[in-house]
Amino acid sequence: MIVSAVAGATGAHAAEQKAIKIGWTAWSDAEAVTNIAKQLLEQRLGYKVELVMTDIGLQYQGVAKKQLDVMLMAWLPNTHKAYWDKLNGELVDLGILYDNAKLGWAVPDYIPASELSSIDDLKKPEVAKKLKSQVQGIDPGAGLMRASEQTLKDYNLAGYDLRTGSDAAMIVALDRAMKHQDWIVVTTWNPHWMFSKYKVRYLEDPKKSLGGAEAIHAIGRKGFDQDFPKAAAFIKNFKIPLSDLEGIMAKAKDSSYEKEAAAYIASHPELVASWLKDAQ
């Protein structure tokens, strides 16, 4: 019994010495949250952290197969439903990081609402012509893109091309269009810093194809809380107001996510203490 207990303790200690592998994708909200977590895990809790950038679908698989320890960007209950339904038996929900997030399609404010206010309006021949029958999307594995593909079907937009690209490529396309006052539709979400820089609005989605309010969860592999107990305790308490997150994202656009994560940690000692209270 004593030998077994010592061996177990040694095993847990050995696990604590390994780097925590956090999966992430270069979405602005995920980059902000991931940088805050990394700095606190390393500087306050003494862990080593390895950030692994990969497609969202591969993150789910990586956590399920224990190739990744945790991901901080699971959009539930709708956006990532397909991934969750397939793999949730191998995943552990560590709780909500922030909520009241949403997906949608957006257009520049200079496009008259009288001509284009709803996704339904995209069927108008004159609207389709001005948009060149295109919707600018993001990375192909994103839940937003899956929902957008369904949206094309739900609204009978068969003539439209849903273009893939990264979050950054979507912003470049939006920026270019707005400089020339061209018409464009982009796939986007809240929280995103674009809403603080550009005058854009969501199109109405009467069929609710893009879903309603979402919550972003932290997802861990099985055994994560046993191998990294302090890290798991912190992540379970890690809750950030959506408005604060959007503020970090807006500032990071002109500096860096690392710098703004550090500044937020330094300026919110009581909130940070509440996150770490069970991890000391």
pLDDT tens sequence for the chain (280 residues): 333 333 343 344 445 568 999 999 988 899 999 999 999 999 999 999 999 999 999 999 999 999 999 999 999 998 899 999 999 999 999 999 999 899 999 999 999 999 999 999 999 999 999 999 999 999 988 889 999 999 999 999 999 999 999 989 999 999 999 999 999 999 999 888 888 889 999 999 999 999 888 999 999 999 999 999 999 999 999 999 998 998 999 899 889 999 999 999 999 999 999 999 999 7
pLDDT at 16: 55
pLDDT at 229: 97
Tokens, residue 274: 């509440």
Tokens, residue 43: 């500087």
Contact (CB, 8 A) for 140 and 187 = no
CA distances from 196 to 17, 116, 193, 272 (A): 41, 22, 5, 25
Query: Does residue 130 sit in helix, strand or coil?
Result: helix
* DSSP letter assigned to residue 238: -
Q: How far apart are CA 72 and CA 257, in angstroms?
A: 15
pLDDT at 243: 87
Q: What angle do CA 103, 172, 146 make, to 5 degrees?
A: 30
